[in-house]
Amino acid sequence: MTPTTFTQDQIASLGARAETMVNSLGTVSAEPDRLVRLFLTPEHRRAADRVAGWMRAAGLTVSEDALGTVRGRLDGPGKKRLLIGSHIDTVINAGMYDGPFGVIAGILAAEHFHAKRLTFGIDVLAFGDEEGSRFPATLSSSSACAGIFRTENLQLADRNGVTLADALHAYGKSPDDIAAAAYARDEAAAYVEVHIEQGPVLEARKQPLGVVTAIIGQTYLNVEFLGEAGHAGTVPMLLRRDALAGAAEAMLLGETLARETKGEVVATVGRIAVAPGATNVIPANVVAIFDIRSGSESARAKLVDTVKAGIRGIADRRHLGLTITSPREVATTPCDAQVQDRFADAVLALGAEPLRLGSGAGHDGQAMAKLCPIGMLFVRCRGGISHNPMEYANPQDLGLAVAALIGFIERFEPEKLG
C-alpha cells in the first residue's frame, strides 16, 4: 500500500481529535477531584462504553471479552490480524495519557483504513487491567487475550476483600469464558502499542517519537510479616514482635540493595497494608509489595534473591512469621526487530528521527509477546512525568504518533515477520 503523505493540517487535526478524546476519558473517574479508574468498577464500565462508542463511530465491529477487554474489529480478506492496544485502567491519582492515548491512537488509525483494503484485519483492544492498581496482579486482560491467564489469580482480593472472580461476576462476566478470550496463534500477526514514554529521554533528545527496543522485566514480591498485636503503652520495647517495624527495615534494605546496583535495578514499595491499623496497637500483620525491575534478567534475579534472603534475616531476628510469594514475574521482553524497523520507517517518513529506546515501565506487550511478535512506539511527554496528574503530551506529538501508527500499518507485512 502506498504510504500516506500527511500535511501539517492533517497531523494537527489528528492531534486535536486525540487530545479531545484523552480529555474526555480523563473525566471518567471514581472521584471528582482526581483520576482513579480501577479494573471492573463502574468507572471502568463507563470508560469501556465510551471507547466502544468511538470504535463504532470509526466503523469497527465491537465486542467485549471475559476480562472486559473492548475489541474493535476491522476485517481483512485473510485470517491474519494486527492487534493494536493499550489499557483504560489507571493508577490512583493518575494522569490522563498513560493507556488511553494508545487505545485512542488505535481507533483513529483503524478509522483511516475503514474504506481502504488491507491484506489483514485490525483489532483495536482496550484492556482493563494493566496497572494492577486494584488486584495484586497485572496484565490480566492482555494475558487472557494471549492465552496465558493464570486461573489462580481469580482468588486474588482487592483492598476490600473482593476477589477477582467476584468482581468479574459483578461486571457481568464469567470466569468460564476466559479461555475463549485467547487469540489463535495463526490469527495474531503482531501486537503493537503506542504509549507516552513516561520518562525523559525523548524530551532531552528533542524528538517527538521513539521506537521501543525492549520492555523491562519485573518481579512483584508480596511480603507478609506476622507479629503480635499488643498495647502500645504497656508492652516493653524488647518484648515486642512489631510487624510494621520489620517491614520498614525490609523496605530500607530493598532501597539500599537497589541503590548499590548503580542504576541496573530499581526497587519500590508503593503499597503496604497494616493490621489492625490503630495508633495504640502494635502492628500484628503487614503486607508490603516490592516491585523490582531491571533490563537485565540476571541482575533482577540476583537482587530478588538478595532481598528475599535479607528479609528472612530480618524476620528471624525480630521473631516474626513471614511468607513471600510472587504474584507477578515478567521477563524482559524484546520488541520484534521487523516491527521496530517498520515503525522507524514510518517515523522517518514524518521527518522525525526514529530514536530507539527501552521501556522502564511495564506494558501489555509483555503478555502479548507470549502470543505473537510485539512492538511499541513512544511519544514524548512533558518532563518525563507519569503516574501523576501532571502527565502531559502536546497535541502535535499525539498527531504525529497517530500518523506514525498509520504509516506503520501501511508498511506492515505479516508474512515477513520471523
Q: What angle do CA 328, 379, 408 make, to 5 degrees?
A: 95
Which partner in ligand GLV, Mn ion, none is near 99 (CB below 5 to 8 A by kind)? Mn ion
> Which one, 137 or 168, has the nearer CB to ligand GLV?
137
Helices (H), ranges, 131-261: 140-146, 164-170, 201-204, 243-260
> Which one, 110 or 266, has the nearer CB to ligand GLV?
266
Residue with the CB atom nearest Mn ion in the bound state: 98
- Which of 23-31, 91-99, 272-280, 328-336 is the region at the interface with Mn ion (rule: CB under 5 A)? 91-99
Which is it for strands 374-379 and 188-196: parallel, antiparallel or unpaired? parallel
Task: Tell me how far, at minimum, the Cβ of 100 lies from ligand GLV, in Å.
Answer: 13
Residue 99 engages Mn ion in binding (rule: CB under 5 A): yes
Task: Tell me how far, at minimum, the Cβ of 132 lies from ligand GLV, in Å.
Answer: 7
Q: Residue 51 corresponds to which amino acid? A: V
Q: Which of 189, 361, 377, 381 binds ligand GLV (CB under 6 A)?
A: 361
Q: Which of 362, 399, 407, 414 binds ligand GLV (CB under 6 A)?
A: 362
> Which one, 285 or 386, has the nearer CB to ligand GLV?
386
Residue 98 engages Mn ion in binding (rule: CB under 5 A): yes
Which partner in Mn ion, ligand GLV, none is near 242 (CB below 5 to 8 A by kind)? none
- Which of 99-107, 146-154, 228-236, 240-248 is the region at the interface with Mn ion (rule: CB under 5 A)? 99-107
Beta strand segments in 13-79, E: 61-64, 70-74
Helices (H), ranges, 360-394: 365-368
Inter-residue contact 211 to 343 (CB < 8 Å): yes
Q: Quote the radius of gyration of the chain (alpha carbons, Å).
A: 22
Inter-CA distances, 139 with 67, 72, 226, 315, 408, Å: 10, 19, 29, 31, 25
Inter-residue contact 355 to 201 (CB < 8 Å): yes
Residue 131 engages ligand GLV in binding (rule: CB under 6 A): yes
> Which one, 219 or 285, has the nearer CB to Mn ion?
219
- Phi and psi for 210 in degrees, rounded to 5? -140, 150
In which element (H, E) is residue 47 found? helix 42-57
In the complex, the residues that contact ligand GLV under the rule CB under 6 A are 131, 361-362
In the complex, the residues that contact Mn ion under the rule CB under 5 A are 98-99
